Chain A
Amino acid sequence: MSLSERIVFTTGSPLPRPSRWSGLLNGRTASVVVMAIVGGGFAWHVRQQAPTPGGPLGLSLGIVGFLMMLGAETLYTLRKRVRGFTRGRMSTWLQTHIFLGLVGAFLIVLHGSGKFHGLAGVASGVMLVMIVSGFVGRYLYTAAPRTLDGVEIDARELMTRFAQAERNLQALGIRLAARDVAELSIDADLPGWLAVLGRSYLLWRQRGRVRRYVRRLPLAGKSSGVELRRILVDRYELQLDIRSVAATRQWLAWWYVLHVPLGWVLFTLATIHIVAALYYSRA
């Protein structure tokens, strides 16, 4: 079998998914850079004058932070919910959501000047819980198999792709013995939540097993070994996707129940805080 023929086997591979951390890294890297710059400036200002939430700087940070948080909450939701709003890829909007959420929250914390008291303190606490929740949501989001456009793939499609992977294996002339099947497949009793949370570890462990298995086979050339390893690892990953897809979707549903209402609570409290501040703002 020539290499060009083997390319056909890619249809049996798992769906192309963004790296679990790549989107977050992009959004996070931008956030870290901006936060470092703003934080440095704020630290310099603190050396000159004690910060106050109602001071020129504190007030500016509060306004900008609130607007960023508002943007983080509304823009991504609008992209998801409004049918006619299809501009940009969902992954890009997600990274924007992460960037605005992280930096906005950071500015709000600076605006509070380390105070977590009263209604504003409660709002800040809710905001921090939202940030943690956002990190969890991001992990669950990337754990669910999707198309390049971010559309989730259901279990049936995953089974089809797994069957194609099995055929690719047979086309290579590999027939897995019963003991090899146990070694190269996921455990029959692997729980769905472990398939989600332990995905990285399981894949790392399986790569080692596949390497040892291929080494035992009398293959003609090096390229055949590489191809076989890729097929076997993709097959294992498809098995993980099939096992975890149900659990991932369930968790995502629960996550929405927490994350979205937190957003409503946060913006309600923030609005009350802003109204009160404006009411007593006469200098």
Chain B
Amino acid sequence: MPWLQRIPAGPWIVLGTLFLTAVVYIVRGDALFSPGSLRDMPAGKKTLGGVRSHAELADRCSACHATSESGLTMESLCLGCHTDVHSQIDRRLPLHGRLTDAESCRKCHTEHRGSQATLTDFAHFDHGITAFPLTGKHQLTNCSACHKDQTYKGTPQSCIACHAEPKIHQGRFGSDCAKCHSTMTWKNVNLTQFDHNLAAFHLTGKHVTTSCVACHKDQVYRGTPQSCAACHAEPTIHLGRFGNDCSKCHSTATWKNAKLASFNHDLSAFKLTGAHRTTACAACHKDQHYRGTPQSCVACHIEPKVHLGRFGTDCMKCHSTATWKGATITAEFHKFPIFHGGGKNRGECAACHAMPNDYRTYACYGCHRHEPEKTAEKHLKWNIIELQACAKCHPTGRKRPDQPAKEKARSGDRKDFSTLPSSDFGSPNSYQATLQRLLLSVPTTDHVRPIAGLRSDP
């Protein structure tokens, strides 16, 4: 169609296009040039510049865009309506008053992005100018994580507004997270200000100055065991007898001063019986020294003088832990047969020791055939005039010293002297004294020729 190509279509098309554009402009007004819908979400009932939303300005470009002949700027037009922002800038108040380029509205606020679109672009917003500067992980956090529903004003700044206290805290540590945690991570905890007494395990004594990592290995705090044995091995001195409940005897102040009020001494190798039960600990454990305490009697009890060193240190042979007063004596120490003679008084102390509480003296006379006259008569022919110390010559109660005892006490027979009065102990007339003298008496062979004037017994 050559004829078609010969028509100078260009000018007509240009004119037609201009005409159509003019028609549309008359109908739509400035909206013809709008590059996109304006936001149509009123912030409230309040009007700014006579409108409730930017959408009402859609046919008036010059409401926001300063024309070349107006002498205004776009920013001045923005602040002309948004007087609150203008006031912030003038008074240097947050938020806009803190911005270095507060009057470059378009740096953050962009329109024509749709009726529902947000006006604010925070890509380059410096959160540091706010009362809540972003640090650590907060710098990477999505804005909407804190600013719900794109609400920025009045966003709470406390940690718990966004972060619920974890279960591991068990509601003990309060909401001032920054005391221990940083915004870098929840894991690496700064415990310099941490009050451990808020935890289930209160720090006392030496624990107060103990390094955290001594108990919390690898900075793991969750599930740290609270038993003593989890950190402290039972010492060898315990011999595995005292269990793991260290706090029964020990405090966190020191291991040394053990509190033994509730200590069961029977768990030790030395069970407390008798008078030991009521004896003060320090009586045996000098200076609260418990390790290596000797268990022998003589470690604490010196052998009394009355023993004259004769009876050894095996106190338990005669004494019990109940009392020193009563002693159980055996033939080992009472050379004269205890069960000598017969009759109803057999074995009774008073049968021989007529003087009460005086066991140093005895009398063979008055009993069956030991008559003083007959005895003197019999012994006279032997020229024996000393007739008071019978046991000297008759240690077994028999006629001749070499004769065995007629009623010999069996090995292990014991005579319980626990009924002896306590005043006997240590007195010159006590049984012990008597016994001592008997043991120190001259040998039986000396009786054949007694030395004149010699008193065998007091």
A residues with a Cβ closer than 8 A to B are 48-50, 52-53, 112, 115, 117-121, 250, 253-254, 256-257, 260-261, 264-265, 268-269, 272-273, 276, 278-283
CB within 8 Å of A: which B21-70 residues? 21, 31-37, 61-62, 65-68, 70
In the assembled complex, the Cα of A260 lies from the Cα of B12 at a distance in Å of 12
Q: Would A269 and B73 be within 8 Å (CB), given that A115-B36, A117-B36, A280-B66 are in contact?
A: no
> Contact: B110 with A50, CB < 8 Å?
yes
Q: Which of B5, B36, B124 contacts A49 (CB 8 A)?
A: B124
Tell me which of A257, A272, A280 has the highest count of chain B C-beta atoms within 10 A of its own C-beta: A280
Q: Which of A53, A120, A257, A280 contacts B67 (CB 8 A)?
A: A280
> Contact: B31 with A118, CB < 8 Å?
yes
Query: How near does chain B come to A269, taking the closest CB pair, in angstroms?
Result: 6
Query: How near does chain B come to A77, taking the closest CB pair, in angstroms?
Result: 10
> Contact: B21 with A272, CB < 8 Å?
yes
User: Given the complex, which residues of A lie within 8 Å of B13, measured CB to CB?
Assistant: 261, 264-265, 268
B414 interface residue per 8 A CB criterion: no
Q: Would A118 and B35 be within 8 Å (CB), given that A264-B10, A268-B18 are in contact?
A: yes
> Contact: A118 with B33, CB < 8 Å?
yes
B1 interface residue per 8 A CB criterion: yes
Closest to B62 in A: A280
Closest to A277 in B: B33
> Contact: A253 with B17, CB < 8 Å?
no
Q: Mask for B73-109, Cβ within 8 A of A = 1, else 0?
A: 1110000000000000000000000000000001000
B9 interface residue per 8 A CB criterion: yes
A-B contact pairs, 18 of them (CB 8 A): A48-B123, A49-B121, A49-B124, A117-B35, A118-B36, A120-B33, A250-B1, A257-B4, A260-B9, A264-B14, A268-B13, A269-B17, A276-B33, A279-B67, A280-B65, A280-B66, A280-B68, A282-B68
User: Given the complex, which residues of A lie within 8 Å of B75, measured CB to CB?
Assistant: 283
User: Given the complex, which residues of A lie within 8 Å of B325, measured CB to CB?
Assistant: none
Number of interface residues, chain B, beta carbon within 8 A: 35
Closest to A281 in B: B68
B181 interface residue per 8 A CB criterion: no
Q: Mask for B105-127, Cβ within 8 A of A = 1, else 0?
A: 01000101000000001011000
B72 interface residue per 8 A CB criterion: yes
> Contact: A278 with B35, CB < 8 Å?
no
In the assembled complex, the Cα of A70 lies from the Cα of B70 at a distance in Å of 31
Q: Which of A117, A119, A265, A279 contacts B112 (CB 8 A)?
A: A117
Q: Mask for B125-168, Cβ within 8 A of A = 1, else 0?
A: 00000000000000000000000000000000000000000000
Q: Would A253 and B5 be within 8 Å (CB), given that A119-B33, A282-B74 are in contact?
A: yes
Q: What DSSP secondary structure best describes chain A's contact surface?
A: helix
Instruction: Name 11 extra pairs, CB < 8 A, besides A118-B34, A118-B35, A282-B74.
Output: A117-B36, A120-B33, A253-B5, A254-B1, A264-B9, A264-B10, A265-B17, A272-B18, A280-B33, A280-B67, A282-B66
In the assembled complex, the Cα of A64 lies from the Cα of B444 at a distance in Å of 146
B residues with a Cβ closer than 8 A to A are 1-2, 4-5, 9-10, 13-14, 17-18, 21, 31-37, 61-62, 65-68, 70, 72-75, 106, 110, 112, 121, 123-124
Query: How near does chain B come to A281, taking the closest CB pair, in angstroms?
Result: 7
User: Given the complex, which residues of B lie within 8 Å of A261, measured CB to CB?
Assistant: 9, 13
Q: Which of A50, A117, A256, A272 contacts B5 (CB 8 A)?
A: A256
Q: Which of A118, A256, A282 contacts B32 (CB 8 A)?
A: A118
In the assembled complex, the Cα of A279 lies from the Cα of B18 at a distance in Å of 17
> Contact: B9 with A115, CB < 8 Å?
no
Closest to A273 in B: B33
In the assembled complex, the Cα of A280 lies from the Cα of B353 at a distance in Å of 141
User: Given the complex, which residues of A lie within 8 Å of B17, measured CB to CB?
Assistant: 264-265, 268-269
Closest to A267 in B: B14
Closest to B17 in A: A268
Q: Which of B10, B110, B123 contacts A52 (CB 8 A)?
A: B110
User: Given the complex, which residues of A lie within 8 Å of B72, measured CB to CB?
Assistant: 282
Query: How near does chain B come to A238, taking the closest CB pair, in angstroms?
Result: 26
> Contact: B35 with A115, CB < 8 Å?
yes
User: Given the complex, which residues of A lie within 8 Å of B33, measured CB to CB?
Assistant: 118-120, 273, 276, 280
In the assembled complex, the Cα of A192 lies from the Cα of B387 at a distance in Å of 175
User: Given the complex, which residues of A lie within 8 Å of B70, measured CB to CB?
Assistant: 282
Q: Would A53 and B74 be within 8 Å (CB), given that A253-B4, A265-B13 are in contact?
A: no
In the assembled complex, the Cα of A256 lies from the Cα of B17 at a distance in Å of 18
User: Given the complex, which residues of A lie within 8 Å of B36, measured CB to CB?
Assistant: 115, 117-118
User: Given the complex, which residues of B lie within 8 Å of A279, measured CB to CB?
Assistant: 67-68
In the assembled complex, the Cα of A272 lies from the Cα of B21 at a distance in Å of 9
Q: Would A280 and B123 be within 8 Å (CB), given that A117-B36, A260-B9 are in contact?
A: no
User: Given the complex, which residues of A lie within 8 Å of B32, measured CB to CB?
Assistant: 118-119
> Contact: A49 with B68, CB < 8 Å?
no
